C-alpha cells in the first residue's frame, strides 16, 4: 500500500521512490524496498532511482547544514534538535574519526538507522572531513548501501531473519 500522500497526490511508484530516497528518515533504505515490494519496479531501476534521489540532498547539505544549524539553534526547538542530532552523530562517528573519508564511506554504507547520507553529511561537518573528500566518500557509501538494500529486498541476503520473495 502506498503512503496516503502519494495516493492523494496521485504519485507514480517511481516518483514516490525518488521522494522517499531523498527524505532523511527513509533514504534509500526505505525507498528500495518500497519500489520493489509495493511499486513493483524492477530492482535495477529501483536502485538507480533511489541512489540518485538519495544523493541529491548531499551537496546542499554539505554546503548549508552548518549555517542552517547555527541559524535554527536560535530557536529552542531547533537548538534541541541539532544538539540531539549532532551528539548522536558524534557517538556513532568513531569510524569516521579514525578513518576519515574511508570511515565516512563505511558509515554511510552500513544500512542501519541513522547511518545514511544525511547523517554522513552531518558527520563530515562534525569531524572536519573536507568536502572534496566527503562528497565522493558519501556517494560511494550510498552506492554500497543501495546494493546491500537491493539484495536484501530481493531476498538474496537476509537481515534479522526475514525472508522475502525475489
The tens digit of pLDDT for each residue in 25-71 reads: 899 999 999 999 999 999 999 999 999 999 999 999 999 999 999 99
Annotated domain spans of the chain: 4-54, 57-144
Instruction: Provide the whole-model pTM.
Output: 0.86
Provide CB contacts within 8 A for 78, sequence distance 6+.
Answer: 69, 71, 72
**Placement of cell 543501495 in the chain:** 146
- Let me know how many helices (H) and strands (E) the chain has, helices first: 9, 0
Q: Is the distance from CB of 18 to CB of 56 less than 8 angstroms?
A: no
**What residue ranges of the chain have pLDDT lower than 50?**
164, 166
Q: Which of 54, 60, 56, 65 is nearest to 144 (CA)?
A: 54
**Radius of gyration over every alpha carbon of the chain, rounded to an integer in angstroms:** 16
pLDDT at 166: 47
pLDDT at 29: 96
pLDDT at 41: 96
Amino acid at each position: 500500500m502506498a503512503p496516503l500522500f502519494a495516493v492523494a497526490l496521485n504519485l507514480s511508484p517511481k516518483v514516490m521512490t525518488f521522494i522517499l530516497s531523498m527524505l532523511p528518515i527513509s533514504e534509500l533504505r526505505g525507498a528500495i524496498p518500497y519500489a520493489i515490494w509495493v511499486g513493483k519496479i524492477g530492482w535495477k531501476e529501483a536502485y538507480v532511482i533511489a541512489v540518485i534521489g538519495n544523493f541529491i540532498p548531499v551537496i546542499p547539505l554539505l554546503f548549508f547544514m552548518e549555517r542552517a544549524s547555527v541559524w535554527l539553534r536560535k530557536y529552542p526547538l531547533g537548538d534541541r534538535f541539532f544538539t540531539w542530532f549532532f551528539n548522536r552523530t558524534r557517538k556513532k562517528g568513531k569510524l569516521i574519526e579514525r578513518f576519515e573519508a574511508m570511515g565516512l564511506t563505511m558509515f554511510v554504507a552500513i544500512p542501519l538507522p541513522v547511518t545514511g547520507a544525511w547523517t554522513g553529511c552531518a558527520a563530515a561537518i562534525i569531524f572536519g572531513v573536507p568536502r572534496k573528500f566527503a562528497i565522493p566518500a558519501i556517494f560511494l557509501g550510498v552506492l554500497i548501501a543501495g546494493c546491500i538494500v537491493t539484495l536484501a529486498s530481493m531476498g538474496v541476503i537476509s537481515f534479522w531473519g526475514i525472508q522475502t520473495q525475489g
